[in-house]
């Protein structure tokens, strides 16, 4: 069996910052009774767009976009991981209510204008360049909090060619750690046999508790994660000297 490799999607394979912002704004509007969809970031306040790109890495699930958007629209100071986590705790009811609406408006925009929705995503060039070779060398799975329909869409349009049972999405597990455990169990191995790559330090911490080997995607959304071995790009997984121990 080839070595098992589990990759996050957003922040590892795909830059979806623009789509996440547009969907968050649309969900916020929908919850307040408005039905008009924003389709592009250039329809929004440039300062909001810039600050969202800086702080998106704090968000761990779709519901938490509610808290980030509320913070950016009502406060001038910047959230830290600790202050943002506390804000999420205090707004727990809003976070829970926001998550399903986020996916509803994402689906609505994808259905109304597939080309515009697809254009909100950027395939990281180095991930694309090394993909086929990586899939030859490793058994590649996606373990992501993104929804299955979106991941299936990019699996198709970007020719990732992963089998459907290699797409571990938010509908299929409670946490990324759960996704890695499920993957290992289906393959009859312990989680320590899985290498997991994510750009979010907190997701890495969760998955590391399973025993999986965890590497930080240094090109993703989080600007720093000093406690985790840094991966320069996915191609580094193919060469021993490029892959941190």
Let me know whether 127 and 108 are in one domain. Answer: no
Let me know whether 34 and 152 are in one domain. Answer: no
User: What was the pLDDT predicted at 13?
Assistant: 97
Let me know whether 8 and 128 are in one domain. Answer: yes
Let me know whether 9 and 27 are in one domain. Answer: no
CATH of the domain at 201: 3.40.50.1000
User: What was the pLDDT predicted at 173?
Assistant: 85
Let me know whether 157 and 223 are in one domain. Answer: yes
CA distance 189 to 185: 6
- Residue 105 structural domain: 17-119
CA distance 233 to 68: 28
Let me know whether 131 and 235 are in one domain. Answer: yes
Work out the average pLDDT over 179-192: 96
pLDDT over 90, % of the chain:
84
E strand map for 92-193: 122-123, 139-143, 167-168
User: Pick from 119, 138, 171: which residue ends a domain?
Assistant: 119
Residue 223's pLDDT band, with cuts at 50, 70 and 90, is confident
Strands 194-198 and 167-168: unpaired
Phi, psi of 232 (to 5 degrees): -70, -40
pTM metric for this prediction: 0.87
Let me know whether 143 and 73 are in one domain. Answer: no
pLDDT in tens, 35-53: 888 999 999 999 999 999 9
Number of domains in the chain: 2
pLDDT in tens, 52-110: 999 999 998 899 999 999 999 999 999 999 999 999 999 999 999 999 999 999 999 99
Let me know whether 197 and 236 are in one domain. Answer: yes
Q: Are 167 and 203 in contact (CB under 8 A)?
A: no
Let me know whether 11 and 93 are in one domain. Answer: no
């Amino acid at each position: 069996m080839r070595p098992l490799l589990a990759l996050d999607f957003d922040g590892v394979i795909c830059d979806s910052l623009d789509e996440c912002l547009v969907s968050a704004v649309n969900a916020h509007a929908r919850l307040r009774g408005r039905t008009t969809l924003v389709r592009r970031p250039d329809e929004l306040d440039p300062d909001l767009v810039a600050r969202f790109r800086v702080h998106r890495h704090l968000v761990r699930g779709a519901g938490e976009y509610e808290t980030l958007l509320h913070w950016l629209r009502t406060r001038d100071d910047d959230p830290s991981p600790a202050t943002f986590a506390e804000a999420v705790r205090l707004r727990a009811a809003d976070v829970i209510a926001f998550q399903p609406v986020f996916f509803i408006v994402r689906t609505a925009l994808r259905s109304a204008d597939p080309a515009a929705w697809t254009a909100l995503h950027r395939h990281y060039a180095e991930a694309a360049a090394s993909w086929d070779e990586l899939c030859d060398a490793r058994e590649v799975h996606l373990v992501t909090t993104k929804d299955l329909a979106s991941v299936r869409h990019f699996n198709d349009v970007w020719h990732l060619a992963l089998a459907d049972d290699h797409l571990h999405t938010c509908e299929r597990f409670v946490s990324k750690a759960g996704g890695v455990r499920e993957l290992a169990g289906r393959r009859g191995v312990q989680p320590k046999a899985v290498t997991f790559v994510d750009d979010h330090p907190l997701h890495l911490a969760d998955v590391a508790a399973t025993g999986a080997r965890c590497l930080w995607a240094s090109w993703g959304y989080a600007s720093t994660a000093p406690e985790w071995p840094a991966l320069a790009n996915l191609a580094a997984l193919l060469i021993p000297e490029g892959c941190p121990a």
